[in-house]
Every structure is written in C-alpha cells, then in structure tokens.
Amino acid sequence: MKDDTPTSAMVVIGDEILSGRTRDANMHHLAGVLTEAGAPLKEVRVVADDREAIVAAINELRAKTTYVFTSGGIGPTHDDITAECVAEAFGVGIDVREDAREILLAHYGDPDKLTPSRLRMARIPDGATLIANPVSGAPGFKMENVHVMAGVPLIFNAMVESVRPTLEGGPPMLSHAFRIPMAEGDIAGPLAELAAAHPDISFGSYPFYQGGYGATIVARSQDRDELAQAAQALRAMCKALGAVDVTELPPL
C-alpha cells in the first residue's frame, strides 16, 4: 500500500458492546465500504460510555487517519454522550440546532412528540455538517474528518450510504486468494521469502481446519499488475512445495 493512501479508523461506543449484550455488526459493513472507496479501515477501537475515553479516542484517531467514523451514543437517553464528547474533542459548543430540530419534527409529525429526550438527538456541535438518516430521521453529523453515526446497524448502514459519495479515496484494495491444503508451518518460510520479494504486496495467511486443514493465503494490493505478479509467484510457490488440489479463489 502506498504511503499516501487515505486511511480510516472507527470508534465503536457503548457499554453494551463491551459487556457482550450486543454484538457489533457495523465494523464489518464499514470495512467493506471503505475498502471499495479506497480509504481502508486501519484501526477500530471499542470504548465504554465514558467521556474521557471517547474524547481521547476521537482526538488520537482523527490526528492520524484521513477519516474517523463513530458508531453509537447519539440517541435520546442520558447515556448517549457521543455528541457532547465530539464537541469537547474539538473545543466547540453544542446545542439543539434548528435544522436538526426541523428534521425530527418532520419525522414525528407532531411538535408534542418532540420531548426533551428526543430533542437530545438534535444537539449538534457548532460548525458540524448534518449526515442524513433516512431510516429514523435523527441526523448524524460530520465534524471536520469525524463522522458521527448511530449504533443501530440498519441506521448506521443508511448513514454510511449518505456519506459514501463524499469519501475521496485512493484506488480500491484488490485481493487474490489461494486455498492451500498444507500445514501453515510448512508454508511460512517460502511465504516469508515471497513477501520479501514483493514488498508492495500485503500477504496474509489464514489457517483452516474444516474439510481438512491448510491455509488460505491472500495477497492484497491497489495495483492490479503487481497483484497479478504476486499471484503468479504464489502459483510457483505452491508448485515448488508440491501442493496439490490448490483452490485459487477469483480475484476481488
């Protein structure tokens, strides 16, 4: 991967994730979108509903990646504190914003339904840009390179689609995989030599134990020609190792 490739990070927020009560599905979806966009996900942090932890994670990750995405903590309850944490991270104020309030009013259709709890979802840090939420109305927001979105997967996915056209990435990451029915330990040495000979290719080894045993070797690159050369080198490696019944998965 080239050094100037845009990169992304994610902060998953919520005690329910860390306690095991809720299984996070948003990271998997976001990773696929960002790979396609050419701004691959490089780091994911899961933090509790703790102001200091959220602020620290946002500030550290926004300083070293092109994009940051948060998931969770922008709902109507008292423990939804992500919005004010983002405001604190950027050193700006936060309050109910009229355009966000109008979006909620249009969604609920009755001013009496805009309770103080629901109006918490209209609190937007000063200077932020709204992110559309076509599912439940309550908007997310973007503050510089930080995108703040809901934790419910259906809503999170819809918000990701809202921001996808704004992402400026490099070439998409391509991959080519080989399923090799040999022990990973037997592959490791030749694979290390192959990786040294192709420093611009990212190689990963993933063992499997169902339907026999072996390892799936995945080569990744943003350069299609370099990836093709690496695939040819992997074929030669398999032949030299005497591997039979190698399954070559279609390039992605």
Same structural domain, 18 and 114: yes
**Between the CA of residue 15 and those of 11, 146, 170, what are the distances in Å?**
13, 21, 34
**Same domain? 145 vs 182:** no
Residue 102, classified by CB atoms within 10 Å of its CB into exposed (0-12), middle (13-18) or buried (19+), is: exposed
pTM equals 0.80
Please, what's the b/e burial string for 178-217 (b: 16 or more CB within 10 A of its CB; e: otherwise)? bbbebebeebeebbeebbeebeebbbeeeeeeeeeebbbb
Q: Are residues 31 and 134 in the same domain?
A: yes
CA distances from 142 to 3, 90, 128, 166 (A): 25, 12, 5, 11
Shared domain for 160 and 242, answered yes or no, is no
For the chain, where are the alpha helices, taking DSSP H only?
15-18, 26-37, 51-64, 82-90, 98-108, 116-119, 153-163, 184-197, 224-241
CATH number at 178 reads 3.30.70.600
In terms of Cα–Cα distance, which of 99, 84, 94 is closest to 125? Answer: 94
For residue 37, count other CB atoms closer than 10 A to its CB: 21
d(CA 248, CA 252): 12
| Chain centre to alpha carbon of residue 11 | 9
Q: Are residues 233 and 160 in the same domain?
A: no
Domain boundary among 114, 148, 166: 166
CB 183 within 8 A of CB 162: no
Number of alpha carbons in the 13 Å side-chain half-sphere of residue 69: 32
Residue 235 lies in a domain: yes
Amino acid at 222: Q
**Does residue 204 share a domain with residue 144?**
no
* Residue 74: CATH number of its domain: 3.40.980.10
Q: Are residues 156 and 35 in the same domain?
A: yes
39 and 109 in one domain? yes
Same domain membership, residue 198 and residue 93: no
Percent of the chain with pLDDT over 70: 98
Strand order in the sheet with 247-249: 202-208, 214-221, 174-180, 247-249
Domain assignment of residue 70, yes or no: yes
pLDDT of residue 90: 98
Whether residues 34 and 108 share a domain: the answer is yes
Ordered mean pLDDT values, 10 residues apiece, the chain (252 residues): 79 94 93 91 96 98 97 93 97 96 92 93 96 92 97 94 90 87 93 94 89 88 90 95 88 68
Residue 16 resides in a domain: yes
**What's residue 169's pLDDT?**
86
Give me the domain span that covers residue 184: 174-249
Q: Within a domain: residue 50? A: yes
Distance separating alpha carbons of residues 121 and 96, to the nearest angstrom: 8
At 90-111, the pLDDT tens digits run 999 999 999 999 999 998 899 9
Inside any domain, residue 103? yes
For residue 1, is it within any domain?
no
Residues sharing a CB contact under 8 Å with residue 95, sequence separation 6 or more, in sequence order: 123, 124, 126
Q: Which residue, 166, 184, 199, sits at the end of a domain?
A: 166
pLDDT at 1: 46
Of 166, 199, 218, the one marking the end of a domain is: 166
Q: How many structural domains does the chain have?
A: 2
My answer on whether 93 and 136 are in the same domain is yes
For residues 143 and 223, membership in a common domain is answered with no
